[in-house]
Amino acid sequence: MPVQRKVIIIGSGPAGYTAAIYAARANLSPLMFSGVQWGGQLMLTTMVENYPGFVDGIMGPELMEVFRKQAERFDTEIIAEDVTAVDFSRRPFRVTAGNRTDEALSVIVATGASAKLLGLAAEQKLMGHGVSTCATCDGFFFKDKNIMVVGGGDSAMEEALYLARLGRKVEVVHRRDTLRASKIMQERAFKNPKIEFIWNSAVDEILDVAKGVVTAVRVKNLKTGEPSERPVDGLFVAIGHQPNTQLFRGQLELLPNEYIKVVPGTTQTSVPGVFAAGDVQDHTYRQAVTAAGTGCMAALEAERFLEAHPS
């Protein structure tokens, strides 16, 4: 028989670890499934300068190490396995990771979201070295530089507008000749003198892996097939995010964009006793600090739920 836990936390980004710190300090002895690749999206960034409390900034992976140590200090049990199935149809809830199944009276889902990538080999190699998926995180490093943004949706326009405040020039590469972004965002981008559009085009190659930094991007015109090499210092991929909710389809109510639906202003999901924190339920702010904030909310809500439903 599996041991019954008070709280199981699935995911180990800022939301998951913050939930663990709060739950552990409330004597809920949380069990966390951190996943094999623990730490979430900050493991893919370099310097983080907008997380409060670090005057000189901190490297993303180092910040997650600090989060992890703080969660362990308060006796969070961490299992470095990927959860493979959940059963939220009745309490106690069941969480399976490979061969083990654990039961819990409450669950906090903090599996995050993943930025969609172009799929080029150089993109992974230069991630954090000129390639980024987050202008608010990394834009500051491209002051007065030439920047390229890929995508034609609201995220791409938002990134381009943000980067135009910092960079010398922002080129937006879009695969069609019309934008998907809302009219208001389009207008703002079209009006901005620093933003230029490269239509009907796709990023073909990112240079220069041998140098370990982005020096140029090769863009191919999809209508004519003509390639062109553009010198840029930064490439921001803004082609959307995918919430990590595959496990929860049919278990929790999801929004049409596949993010977990929560009661506004709370972390309560469609199943009482299951809470969702961080980017898995946030398609608006998507910041480490907001994820940590909702992780705290989820732990406090789980604690209150357990007081009202002790078994």
Helix (H) or strand (E) holding 123: helix 121-125
| Options 138, 233, 279, 282, the catalytic residue | 138
| Options 56, 75, 87, 134, the catalytic residue | 134
State how far the alpha carbon of 91 is from the alpha carbons of 95, 215, 311, in Å: 11, 55, 9
Q: Quick check: is 138 catalytic?
A: yes
Residues 169-188 that bind ligand NAP (CB under 6 A): 175-176, 180, 182
Q: Give the residue, chosen from 123, 158, 171, 303, that forms a contact with ligand NAP under the rule CB under 6 A.
A: 158
Q: Quick check: is 137 catalytic?
A: yes
Residue 183 backbone phi and psi in degrees, to 5: -55, -45
Peptide bond before 30: cis, by omega within 30 degrees of 0? no
Chain position whose Cβ is nearest to ligand NAP: 153
Does 155 engage in binding with ligand NAP (CB under 6 A)?
yes
Q: Give the residue, chosen from 152, 234, 243, 293, that forms a contact with ligand NAP under the rule CB under 6 A.
A: 152
Name the residue among 87, 111, 134, 122 with its Cα closest to residue 36.
111
Name the residue among 310, 300, 277, 302 with its Cα closest to residue 15.
277
| Options 102, 137, 279, 296, the catalytic residue | 137
Binding part of the chain for ligand NAP, among 51-59, 134-142, 147-155, 293-301 by CB under 6 A, reads 147-155
Does 240 engage in binding with ligand NAP (CB under 6 A)?
yes
Does 230 engage in binding with ligand NAP (CB under 6 A)?
no
**β strands within 63-181, DSSP E:** 77-79, 85-87, 93-97, 100-109, 113-115, 131-132, 146-150, 169-173
Does 154 engage in binding with ligand NAP (CB under 6 A)?
yes
Question: Which is closer to ligand NAP, CB of 96 or CB of 200?
Answer: 200
CA Rg value for the chain: 21
CB distance 186 to 273 below 8 Å:
no
DSSP secondary structure code for residue 109 in this structure? E
Please work out the total of residues on this chain that contact ligand NAP, with binding judged by CB under 6 A.
17
Does 151 engage in binding with ligand NAP (CB under 6 A)?
yes
Does 61 engage in binding with ligand NAP (CB under 6 A)?
no
Active site members:
134, 137-138
Contacting residues toward ligand NAP, per CB under 6 A: 118, 150-156, 158, 175-176, 180, 182, 239-241, 283
